[in-house]
Amino acid sequence: MDSLALWLALILAAGLGPLKPRPSAAPGSQGTAPVTGPFTAGELKAFAALEPIDTHTHAFVSDPAFLALLHRLHMHILDICVIDDHSPFERSLEPQLDEALAVVHASQGHAALCTTFDPYRFQEPGFAEAAIRQINRDFENGAVAVKVWKNVGMELKNTKGAYVMPDDPLFQPIYRDIAAHHKTLIAHVADPDTIWQPPDPRAPDYSYYMEHPEWYMFRNPHPPSKQAILKARDHLLEMNPDLRVVGAHLGSMEADFSAIARHLDRYPNFCVDLAARMPYVIRQPRAELVAFMTKYQDRLLYATDLGFHPGEDASRVIKEWETTYARDWRFFATSDLLDYEGRRVQGIHLPPSILRKLYHQNALRSIPGILPATPAP
Protein backbone atom coordinates (compact mmCIF):
# COMPACT_ATOMS: atom_id res chain seq x y z
CA MET A 1 0.00 0.00 0.00
CA ASP A 2 3.08 2.25 -0.02
CA SER A 3 2.37 3.78 -3.41
CA LEU A 4 -1.27 4.11 -2.46
CA ALA A 5 -0.24 6.01 0.67
CA LEU A 6 1.79 8.33 -1.57
CA TRP A 7 -1.25 8.98 -3.75
CA LEU A 8 -3.26 9.67 -0.63
CA ALA A 9 -0.70 12.23 0.50
CA LEU A 10 -0.70 13.87 -2.94
CA ILE A 11 -4.47 14.07 -3.02
CA LEU A 12 -4.67 15.56 0.44
CA ALA A 13 -1.98 18.04 -0.56
CA ALA A 14 -4.01 18.93 -3.64
CA GLY A 15 -6.83 20.01 -1.39
CA LEU A 16 -9.21 17.10 -2.00
CA GLY A 17 -9.67 16.52 1.68
CA PRO A 18 -13.01 16.26 3.46
CA LEU A 19 -15.55 18.44 1.73
CA LYS A 20 -18.59 20.20 3.06
CA PRO A 21 -22.00 19.22 1.72
CA ARG A 22 -23.07 21.48 -1.12
CA PRO A 23 -25.60 23.87 0.40
CA SER A 24 -28.05 23.77 -2.51
CA ALA A 25 -27.89 19.99 -2.95
CA ALA A 26 -31.40 19.08 -1.95
CA PRO A 27 -34.10 21.64 -2.42
CA GLY A 28 -36.32 21.54 0.61
CA SER A 29 -33.93 19.50 2.76
CA GLN A 30 -32.96 20.97 6.08
CA GLY A 31 -29.29 21.41 6.90
CA THR A 32 -27.61 18.02 7.00
CA ALA A 33 -30.55 15.89 5.87
CA PRO A 34 -29.33 13.25 3.42
CA VAL A 35 -30.09 13.66 -0.26
CA THR A 36 -32.33 10.88 -1.59
CA GLY A 37 -34.68 10.05 -4.44
CA PRO A 38 -34.46 10.31 -8.21
CA PHE A 39 -32.32 12.82 -10.08
CA THR A 40 -33.20 16.50 -9.96
CA ALA A 41 -33.22 18.21 -13.37
CA GLY A 42 -29.76 19.68 -12.75
CA GLU A 43 -28.30 16.39 -11.56
CA LEU A 44 -29.78 14.53 -14.52
CA LYS A 45 -28.11 16.94 -16.92
CA ALA A 46 -24.69 16.31 -15.34
CA PHE A 47 -25.24 12.55 -15.19
CA ALA A 48 -26.55 12.21 -18.76
CA ALA A 49 -23.63 14.29 -20.07
CA LEU A 50 -21.31 11.45 -19.02
CA GLU A 51 -23.14 9.12 -21.47
CA PRO A 52 -22.98 6.68 -18.54
CA ILE A 53 -22.42 2.96 -19.03
CA ASP A 54 -23.50 0.31 -16.53
CA THR A 55 -21.38 -2.74 -17.38
CA HIS A 56 -23.32 -5.23 -15.24
CA THR A 57 -27.09 -5.61 -15.55
CA HIS A 58 -29.60 -8.41 -16.14
CA ALA A 59 -32.51 -6.97 -18.14
CA PHE A 60 -34.88 -9.43 -19.77
CA VAL A 61 -38.03 -7.36 -20.35
CA SER A 62 -38.25 -4.90 -23.26
CA ASP A 63 -40.82 -2.70 -21.56
CA PRO A 64 -41.28 0.69 -23.31
CA ALA A 65 -41.19 2.69 -20.06
CA PHE A 66 -37.98 0.93 -19.01
CA LEU A 67 -36.36 1.65 -22.37
CA ALA A 68 -37.53 5.26 -22.08
CA LEU A 69 -35.67 5.48 -18.75
CA LEU A 70 -32.42 4.38 -20.45
CA HIS A 71 -32.95 7.06 -23.11
CA ARG A 72 -33.79 9.77 -20.57
CA LEU A 73 -30.67 9.01 -18.49
CA HIS A 74 -28.49 8.50 -21.61
CA MET A 75 -27.73 5.18 -19.92
CA HIS A 76 -26.05 2.33 -21.80
CA ILE A 77 -26.08 -1.14 -20.29
CA LEU A 78 -24.31 -4.43 -20.73
CA ASP A 79 -27.09 -7.02 -20.53
CA ILE A 80 -25.64 -10.20 -19.04
CA CYS A 81 -26.93 -13.78 -19.30
CA VAL A 82 -26.00 -16.44 -16.73
CA ILE A 83 -27.02 -20.09 -16.52
CA ASP A 84 -28.12 -20.95 -13.01
CA ASP A 85 -29.74 -24.30 -12.27
CA HIS A 86 -31.36 -22.84 -9.12
CA SER A 87 -33.44 -20.35 -11.11
CA PRO A 88 -36.35 -21.47 -13.32
CA PHE A 89 -35.82 -18.57 -15.76
CA GLU A 90 -32.05 -18.96 -15.93
CA ARG A 91 -31.86 -22.74 -16.04
CA SER A 92 -31.10 -22.67 -19.76
CA LEU A 93 -29.68 -20.03 -22.08
CA GLU A 94 -33.00 -19.73 -23.88
CA PRO A 95 -35.33 -17.97 -23.15
CA GLN A 96 -33.09 -15.38 -21.46
CA LEU A 97 -30.91 -14.96 -24.54
CA ASP A 98 -34.03 -14.25 -26.65
CA GLU A 99 -35.31 -11.75 -24.08
CA ALA A 100 -31.91 -10.06 -23.76
CA LEU A 101 -31.64 -9.78 -27.55
CA ALA A 102 -35.15 -8.28 -27.63
CA VAL A 103 -33.99 -5.64 -25.10
CA VAL A 104 -30.85 -4.99 -27.16
CA HIS A 105 -32.80 -4.57 -30.41
CA ALA A 106 -35.53 -2.41 -28.86
CA SER A 107 -33.01 -0.21 -27.00
CA GLN A 108 -31.74 1.62 -30.09
CA GLY A 109 -28.13 1.36 -29.04
CA HIS A 110 -28.65 1.59 -25.26
CA ALA A 111 -28.04 -2.10 -24.50
CA ALA A 112 -25.36 -4.57 -25.58
CA LEU A 113 -25.40 -8.33 -25.08
CA CYS A 114 -23.12 -10.41 -22.86
CA THR A 115 -23.75 -14.07 -23.54
CA THR A 116 -22.58 -17.10 -21.58
CA PHE A 117 -22.04 -20.81 -22.05
CA ASP A 118 -23.60 -23.73 -20.19
CA PRO A 119 -20.94 -24.97 -17.75
CA TYR A 120 -23.25 -27.69 -16.41
CA ARG A 121 -22.50 -29.62 -19.62
CA PHE A 122 -18.78 -29.78 -18.92
CA GLN A 123 -18.74 -33.58 -18.81
CA GLU A 124 -20.45 -34.04 -22.18
CA PRO A 125 -18.19 -35.04 -25.07
CA GLY A 126 -17.38 -32.06 -27.30
CA PHE A 127 -18.33 -29.60 -24.51
CA ALA A 128 -15.89 -26.85 -25.47
CA GLU A 129 -16.58 -27.16 -29.22
CA ALA A 130 -20.32 -26.87 -28.68
CA ALA A 131 -19.86 -23.91 -26.31
CA ILE A 132 -17.61 -22.18 -28.85
CA ARG A 133 -20.14 -22.73 -31.68
CA GLN A 134 -22.87 -21.16 -29.59
CA ILE A 135 -20.70 -18.26 -28.41
CA ASN A 136 -19.54 -17.52 -31.95
CA ARG A 137 -23.17 -17.53 -33.11
CA ASP A 138 -23.93 -15.01 -30.34
CA PHE A 139 -20.95 -12.87 -31.40
CA GLU A 140 -22.48 -12.79 -34.89
CA ASN A 141 -25.71 -11.63 -33.28
CA GLY A 142 -23.88 -8.77 -31.58
CA ALA A 143 -22.64 -10.16 -28.26
CA VAL A 144 -19.63 -8.17 -27.04
CA ALA A 145 -18.72 -10.26 -23.99
CA VAL A 146 -19.07 -13.69 -22.38
CA LYS A 147 -19.79 -14.37 -18.73
CA VAL A 148 -18.28 -17.11 -16.60
CA TRP A 149 -20.21 -17.43 -13.36
CA LYS A 150 -19.64 -18.54 -9.81
CA ASN A 151 -21.16 -21.98 -10.37
CA VAL A 152 -17.68 -22.64 -11.76
CA GLY A 153 -15.67 -22.81 -8.54
CA MET A 154 -18.56 -23.08 -6.09
CA GLU A 155 -21.01 -25.63 -7.47
CA LEU A 156 -19.79 -27.89 -10.29
CA LYS A 157 -17.89 -30.99 -9.22
CA ASN A 158 -16.04 -33.53 -11.31
CA THR A 159 -16.45 -37.30 -11.04
CA LYS A 160 -13.85 -37.37 -8.25
CA GLY A 161 -15.94 -34.95 -6.22
CA ALA A 162 -13.54 -32.02 -6.66
CA TYR A 163 -14.87 -28.56 -7.47
CA VAL A 164 -14.33 -27.52 -11.09
CA MET A 165 -12.28 -24.33 -11.05
CA PRO A 166 -12.31 -21.45 -13.55
CA ASP A 167 -8.81 -22.35 -14.78
CA ASP A 168 -9.79 -25.93 -15.59
CA PRO A 169 -8.21 -26.89 -18.95
CA LEU A 170 -11.75 -27.74 -20.12
CA PHE A 171 -12.52 -24.03 -20.42
CA GLN A 172 -9.24 -22.96 -21.99
CA PRO A 173 -10.39 -23.36 -25.65
CA ILE A 174 -13.40 -21.17 -24.81
CA TYR A 175 -11.20 -18.44 -23.33
CA ARG A 176 -8.92 -18.63 -26.37
CA ASP A 177 -11.90 -18.26 -28.68
CA ILE A 178 -13.13 -15.17 -26.82
CA ALA A 179 -9.68 -13.59 -27.04
CA ALA A 180 -9.37 -14.50 -30.74
CA HIS A 181 -12.63 -12.63 -31.39
CA HIS A 182 -11.36 -9.63 -29.39
CA LYS A 183 -14.26 -9.97 -26.98
CA THR A 184 -14.23 -9.68 -23.20
CA LEU A 185 -14.69 -12.23 -20.42
CA ILE A 186 -16.83 -11.06 -17.51
CA ALA A 187 -15.69 -13.26 -14.61
CA HIS A 188 -17.90 -13.51 -11.58
CA VAL A 189 -15.96 -16.07 -9.59
CA ALA A 190 -16.30 -16.69 -5.84
CA ASP A 191 -18.50 -14.50 -3.65
CA PRO A 192 -18.01 -12.11 -0.73
CA ASP A 193 -15.95 -13.32 2.24
CA THR A 194 -19.08 -13.22 4.40
CA ILE A 195 -20.51 -16.20 2.47
CA TRP A 196 -17.85 -18.33 4.21
CA GLN A 197 -18.48 -16.81 7.65
CA PRO A 198 -21.14 -17.27 10.36
CA PRO A 199 -24.30 -15.24 9.75
CA ASP A 200 -23.90 -11.58 10.62
CA PRO A 201 -26.97 -9.36 10.13
CA ARG A 202 -24.66 -6.34 9.80
CA ALA A 203 -22.83 -7.81 6.79
CA PRO A 204 -23.75 -6.16 3.47
CA ASP A 205 -24.61 -9.53 1.91
CA TYR A 206 -26.62 -10.96 4.82
CA SER A 207 -30.00 -10.84 3.10
CA TYR A 208 -28.54 -12.35 -0.10
CA TYR A 209 -27.28 -15.50 1.56
CA MET A 210 -30.41 -15.84 3.69
CA GLU A 211 -32.41 -15.79 0.43
CA HIS A 212 -29.90 -18.01 -1.42
CA PRO A 213 -28.83 -20.71 1.04
CA GLU A 214 -27.48 -22.73 -1.91
CA TRP A 215 -24.59 -20.24 -2.13
CA TYR A 216 -24.02 -19.92 1.60
CA MET A 217 -20.70 -21.73 1.82
CA PHE A 218 -20.60 -21.50 5.63
CA ARG A 219 -23.43 -24.06 5.72
CA ASN A 220 -21.87 -26.23 2.99
CA PRO A 221 -20.28 -29.25 4.70
CA HIS A 222 -17.44 -29.39 2.15
CA PRO A 223 -17.07 -25.90 0.72
CA PRO A 224 -14.37 -24.90 -1.72
CA SER A 225 -11.97 -22.35 -0.26
CA LYS A 226 -12.35 -18.82 -1.55
CA GLN A 227 -8.58 -18.58 -1.75
CA ALA A 228 -8.44 -21.61 -4.08
CA ILE A 229 -11.09 -20.11 -6.38
CA LEU A 230 -9.35 -16.75 -6.62
CA LYS A 231 -6.02 -18.49 -7.18
CA ALA A 232 -7.59 -20.33 -10.12
CA ARG A 233 -8.92 -17.00 -11.44
CA ASP A 234 -5.42 -15.55 -11.22
CA HIS A 235 -4.08 -18.57 -13.08
CA LEU A 236 -6.69 -17.95 -15.79
CA LEU A 237 -5.39 -14.35 -16.08
CA GLU A 238 -1.80 -15.59 -16.34
CA MET A 239 -2.62 -18.23 -18.95
CA ASN A 240 -4.56 -15.78 -21.10
CA PRO A 241 -2.64 -12.52 -21.26
CA ASP A 242 -4.44 -11.57 -24.50
CA LEU A 243 -7.89 -12.01 -22.96
CA ARG A 244 -9.49 -8.93 -21.41
CA VAL A 245 -11.08 -9.98 -18.12
CA VAL A 246 -13.49 -7.91 -16.06
CA GLY A 247 -13.54 -9.13 -12.47
CA ALA A 248 -17.19 -8.69 -11.54
CA HIS A 249 -18.06 -7.45 -8.05
CA LEU A 250 -14.60 -5.96 -7.35
CA GLY A 251 -13.12 -9.26 -8.48
CA SER A 252 -14.57 -10.79 -5.28
CA MET A 253 -11.87 -9.00 -3.28
CA GLU A 254 -14.43 -6.63 -1.80
CA ALA A 255 -13.06 -6.67 1.74
CA ASP A 256 -9.44 -5.94 0.82
CA PHE A 257 -8.83 -3.02 -1.51
CA SER A 258 -5.07 -3.55 -1.26
CA ALA A 259 -5.60 -7.00 -2.84
CA ILE A 260 -7.55 -5.36 -5.68
CA ALA A 261 -4.67 -2.90 -6.11
CA ARG A 262 -2.08 -5.71 -6.23
CA HIS A 263 -4.10 -7.56 -8.86
CA LEU A 264 -4.53 -4.47 -11.02
CA ASP A 265 -0.78 -3.83 -10.75
CA ARG A 266 0.07 -7.39 -11.64
CA TYR A 267 -2.40 -8.19 -14.45
CA PRO A 268 -2.65 -5.59 -17.20
CA ASN A 269 -5.50 -7.58 -18.82
CA PHE A 270 -7.64 -7.26 -15.68
CA CYS A 271 -10.02 -4.60 -14.43
CA VAL A 272 -12.89 -4.74 -11.94
CA ASP A 273 -16.51 -3.66 -11.90
CA LEU A 274 -18.28 -2.25 -8.86
CA ALA A 275 -21.49 -4.23 -9.35
CA ALA A 276 -23.43 -4.84 -6.14
CA ARG A 277 -20.38 -3.92 -4.04
CA MET A 278 -21.16 -0.26 -3.38
CA PRO A 279 -21.86 -1.17 0.28
CA TYR A 280 -18.16 -2.10 0.50
CA VAL A 281 -17.04 0.95 -1.49
CA ILE A 282 -18.85 3.37 0.81
CA ARG A 283 -17.38 1.67 3.89
CA GLN A 284 -13.82 2.57 2.84
CA PRO A 285 -12.26 5.50 4.68
CA ARG A 286 -13.10 8.46 2.46
CA ALA A 287 -9.57 9.74 1.75
CA GLU A 288 -8.26 6.22 1.11
CA LEU A 289 -11.08 5.56 -1.31
CA VAL A 290 -10.34 8.77 -3.21
CA ALA A 291 -6.66 7.77 -3.37
CA PHE A 292 -7.56 4.29 -4.63
CA MET A 293 -9.98 5.57 -7.26
CA THR A 294 -7.48 8.18 -8.38
CA LYS A 295 -4.61 5.74 -8.73
CA TYR A 296 -6.71 3.11 -10.51
CA GLN A 297 -8.89 5.56 -12.44
CA ASP A 298 -8.27 3.62 -15.69
CA ARG A 299 -9.20 0.21 -14.26
CA LEU A 300 -12.59 0.59 -12.52
CA LEU A 301 -15.95 0.15 -14.23
CA TYR A 302 -19.19 1.58 -12.94
CA ALA A 303 -21.75 -1.24 -12.64
CA THR A 304 -24.78 -2.13 -10.54
CA ASP A 305 -26.10 -5.70 -11.03
CA LEU A 306 -29.59 -4.22 -11.43
CA GLY A 307 -32.11 -6.62 -12.95
CA PHE A 308 -35.45 -6.69 -14.73
CA HIS A 309 -36.98 -10.16 -14.97
CA PRO A 310 -40.27 -11.32 -16.51
CA GLY A 311 -43.15 -10.90 -14.08
CA GLU A 312 -41.57 -8.01 -12.16
CA ASP A 313 -43.50 -4.79 -11.78
CA ALA A 314 -42.13 -2.33 -14.34
CA SER A 315 -42.83 0.82 -12.33
CA ARG A 316 -41.09 -0.60 -9.24
CA VAL A 317 -38.10 -1.71 -11.34
CA ILE A 318 -37.82 1.67 -13.09
CA LYS A 319 -37.89 3.47 -9.74
CA GLU A 320 -35.24 1.15 -8.32
CA TRP A 321 -32.93 1.64 -11.32
CA GLU A 322 -33.22 5.42 -11.30
CA THR A 323 -32.79 5.83 -7.53
CA THR A 324 -29.77 3.50 -7.60
CA TYR A 325 -28.15 5.48 -10.40
CA ALA A 326 -28.92 8.76 -8.64
CA ARG A 327 -27.57 7.58 -5.28
CA ASP A 328 -24.36 6.15 -6.74
CA TRP A 329 -23.74 9.24 -8.88
CA ARG A 330 -24.25 11.54 -5.88
CA PHE A 331 -21.71 9.45 -3.96
CA PHE A 332 -19.05 9.73 -6.68
CA ALA A 333 -19.76 13.18 -8.12
CA THR A 334 -20.87 15.32 -5.18
CA SER A 335 -19.99 15.90 -1.55
CA ASP A 336 -23.62 15.49 -0.50
CA LEU A 337 -24.57 13.67 2.65
CA LEU A 338 -26.35 10.50 1.60
CA ASP A 339 -28.30 7.73 3.20
CA TYR A 340 -26.80 4.53 1.84
CA GLU A 341 -28.81 1.54 3.07
CA GLY A 342 -29.14 3.04 6.52
CA ARG A 343 -25.62 4.47 6.63
CA ARG A 344 -24.91 8.17 6.58
CA VAL A 345 -22.07 8.78 4.11
CA GLN A 346 -20.63 11.77 2.33
CA GLY A 347 -20.01 11.83 -1.41
CA ILE A 348 -16.37 11.76 -2.53
CA HIS A 349 -16.67 14.42 -5.24
CA LEU A 350 -14.37 12.91 -7.85
CA PRO A 351 -13.13 15.29 -10.53
CA PRO A 352 -14.93 15.22 -13.92
CA SER A 353 -11.99 13.51 -15.67
CA ILE A 354 -12.18 10.50 -13.30
CA LEU A 355 -15.97 10.36 -13.45
CA ARG A 356 -15.78 10.21 -17.24
CA LYS A 357 -13.42 7.23 -17.04
CA LEU A 358 -15.43 5.43 -14.35
CA TYR A 359 -18.75 5.91 -16.13
CA HIS A 360 -17.74 5.81 -19.79
CA GLN A 361 -14.20 5.60 -21.12
CA ASN A 362 -12.99 2.53 -19.20
CA ALA A 363 -15.99 0.53 -20.39
CA LEU A 364 -15.23 1.42 -24.02
CA ARG A 365 -11.68 0.14 -23.62
CA SER A 366 -12.46 -2.94 -21.52
CA ILE A 367 -15.55 -4.00 -23.46
CA PRO A 368 -15.13 -2.80 -27.05
CA GLY A 369 -18.45 -2.73 -28.90
CA ILE A 370 -20.45 -1.93 -25.76
CA LEU A 371 -21.63 1.20 -27.54
CA PRO A 372 -22.76 1.07 -31.17
CA ALA A 373 -20.36 2.52 -33.73
CA THR A 374 -22.72 5.44 -34.31
CA PRO A 375 -23.91 7.31 -31.23
CA ALA A 376 -27.31 6.35 -29.91
CA PRO A 377 -30.05 8.88 -30.66
The answer to whether residue 191 forms part of the interface with Zn ion (CB under 5 A) is: no
Give 364: exposed, middle or buried? Use CB within 10 Å, 0-12, 13-18, 19+: middle
Residue nearest to Zn ion (CB): 305
In whole angstroms, how close is the CB of 273 to Zn ion at the nearest point?
A: 9
In whole angstroms, how close is the CB of 175 to Zn ion at the nearest point?
A: 20
The answer to whether residue 90 forms part of the interface with Zn ion (CB under 5 A) is: no
| Strand 306-308 to 53-59 pairing | parallel
In whole angstroms, how close is the CB of 198 to Zn ion at the nearest point?
A: 25
The answer to whether residue 84 forms part of the interface with Zn ion (CB under 5 A) is: no
Ranges of beta strands (E only) in the chain are 53-59, 76-80, 111-116, 145-148, 184-187, 244-247, 270-273, 300-301, 306-308, 337-340, 343-346
* Cβ-based nearer residue to Zn ion, 84 or 322: 84
- Number of residues located near Zn ion, criterion CB under 5 A: 1
In whole angstroms, how close is the CB of 306 to Zn ion at the nearest point?
A: 9
* Cβ-based nearer residue to Zn ion, 135 or 306: 306
DSSP conformational letter for 213: G
* Cβ-based nearer residue to Zn ion, 138 or 305: 305
Secondary structure of residue 212 in the 3-state scheme: coil
- Do residues 311 and 88 lie in contact, with contact meaning Cβ atoms separated by under 8 Å? no
Of 214, 297, 196, the closest CA to residue 254 belongs to 196
Stretch that binds Zn ion, among 15-23, 190-198, 260-268, 301-309 (CB under 5 A): 301-309
Residues in 92-151 that interact with Zn ion by CB under 5 A: none
In whole angstroms, how close is the CB of 205 to Zn ion at the nearest point?
A: 13
* Cβ-based nearer residue to Zn ion, 122 or 208: 208
* Cβ-based nearer residue to Zn ion, 301 or 337: 301
Dist CA 137 CA 130 (whole Å): 11
Cα–Cα distance list, 87 to 146, 150, 158, 166 (Å): 19, 14, 22, 21
Write the interaction track for Zn ion spanning residues 255-294; mark x where CB under 5 A is met and - where it is not: ----------------------------------------
* Cβ-based nearer residue to Zn ion, 305 or 336: 305
The answer to whether residue 305 forms part of the interface with Zn ion (CB under 5 A) is: yes
Produce one character per residue of 220-257: b if its CB has 16 or more CB atoms within 10 Å, e if not. eeeebebeebbebbbebbeebeebbbbbbbbbbbbeeb
* Cβ-based nearer residue to Zn ion, 99 or 305: 305
Q: List contacts with Zn ion (CB under 5 A).
A: 305
